[in-house]
Homo-oligomer: A and B are copies of this chain.
């Protein structure tokens, strides 16, 4: 079935074509190498139709034929794989002290991963645009040198990004109402590819949904673990942004009216009791945001050494985290909640108690089938997801123009 997902929009055969091109493309990504006959058998499309679709995709260099099968009865099949070489998708992540750029090919293979220090915490959005544009131009020129066409660029920002790509508030960066998508497009002077901006948690969720070990889950939630805590929500196979794009702001769910004061001014917010700030407040109260990574390393070291107070602290954080995740699981019933950011190195001491707390609070039998897992994509999840956002457009059938 076809579902026009945003209201009454009519369909015609170009939509059928786009849908089916996307079906074939996704099938090959998930089952490569495979033959045309495999595709026809599994998708239900007619053999002739598959041949025509594959021809289109080969023309546009999205697919490539590899060798033939051997030693089987019948005519050998020509195998198809994604063609990694001619395209690139760029993802950029801005943060408090660095900008990361990654480029991936259609398969999701990382082509480059550049990290460049940048005083995000003390720079204006305008300065960030200049820095990002410079970095983006270098990435684009590298990709061009490799004879790759850039399909698009997406920027991940830790903050509230509305549906138009305007950064409404980015507390850690000190930005307000910055039209990042527009300004960056201007700074790149007619780049010839779309420039998008989205929230970092949303994009990390997209990365997990596309590349992570739970990529089959149509309903998943990714939780960032920095000083701030945010979530990206995938339901029914797509990122759900809410009415204005601000979904997933779980950091300020109030868990305890008698809890510690949060930087938002209220008490007992999830991020005040289970964010990195809650840990630093008790281990390194004077640390600046840029020292976060070092300090967490130190916490990990002390936990490994079995220091009692640290273990107790982490258990406490884990329990609060579990309570927050129970709220998520009760409200959204995802198949999996994936913990990212600094929750990853801290996971050995957090997850067990968080899970226990969560399962104890989820109403649905068996916790609604919701598991609590740890991200395997590392710190670059948001940047990777930003690139994945670009590939999503291709996946939904908007193929790059034929050359």
Picked from B2, B217, B236, B331, the residue with its CB within 8 Å of the CB of A18 is B2
When distances are taken between beta carbons in the complex, the residues of chain B under 8 Å from A2 are 2-4, 11, 15-16, 18-19
Task: List B contacts of A22 (CB < 8 A).
Answer: 4, 8
Note all chain B residues with C-beta closer than 8 A to A249.
Answer: 330-331, 333, 362-364, 368
A241 to B328 Cα, complex, angstroms:
13
Please determine whether B20 and A11 come into contact, CB atoms closer than 8 angstroms.
yes
Interface contact A1-B10, CB-CB below 8 Å: no
Q: Kindly supply a per-residue 1/0 record for chain A positions 210-248, scoring 1 wherever the CB is within 8 Å of any chain B CB and 0 otherwise.
A: 000000011100000000000101011110111111111
Whether the pair B3, A10 counts as a contact (CB closer than 8 A) is no
Task: Please determine whether B27 and A16 come into contact, CB atoms closer than 8 angstroms.
Answer: no
Q: Does A195 interact with chain B (Cβ within 8 Å)? A: no
Given A243-B219, A264-B363, A332-B331: A326 and B238 interface contact (C-beta under 8 Å) = no
Contacts of A396 in B (CB 8 A): 1, 3
State the oligomeric state as a number of copies: 2
Q: Is A6 in contact with B246, judged by CB distance below 8 angstroms?
A: no
Residues of chain B with a CB closer than 8 A to A402's CB: none
Output the least CB separation between A14 and chain B (Å).
9
- Collect the chain B residues with CB atoms within 8 Å of residue A16's CB: 2, 11-13, 15-16
Contact with B along A31-61 (1 / 0, CB 8 A): 0000000000001110000000000000000
Chain B CB within 10 Å — which of A9, A242, A252, A255 has the most? A242
A5-B238, A257-B256, A330-B250 known; A160-B364 Cβ under 8 A: yes
Closest to A328 in B: B331
Q: Is A302 an interface residue (CB 8 A)?
A: no
Q: Which residues of B contact A301 (CB under 8 A)?
A: none
Kindly list chain B residues whose C-beta atoms are within 8 Å of the C-beta of A248: 331, 333
A116 at the interface (CB under 8 A from B): no
Choose among B18, B245, B264, B335 the residue that contacts A243 (Cβ–Cβ < 8 A): B335
9 closest cross-chain pairs (CB), A and B: A242-B333, A2-B15, A246-B364, A243-B335, A11-B19, A246-B333, A247-B333, A219-B243, A8-B23
User: Can you spell out 27 A-B residue pairs with CB atoms less than 8 angstroms apart?
Assistant: A1-B9, A1-B15, A1-B18, A2-B4, A2-B16, A2-B18, A5-B237, A8-B27, A10-B23, A11-B16, A11-B19, A15-B16, A169-B364, A235-B242, A236-B240, A242-B332, A243-B334, A244-B364, A245-B333, A246-B363, A246-B368, A247-B331, A249-B333, A250-B330, A252-B326, A254-B327, A258-B258
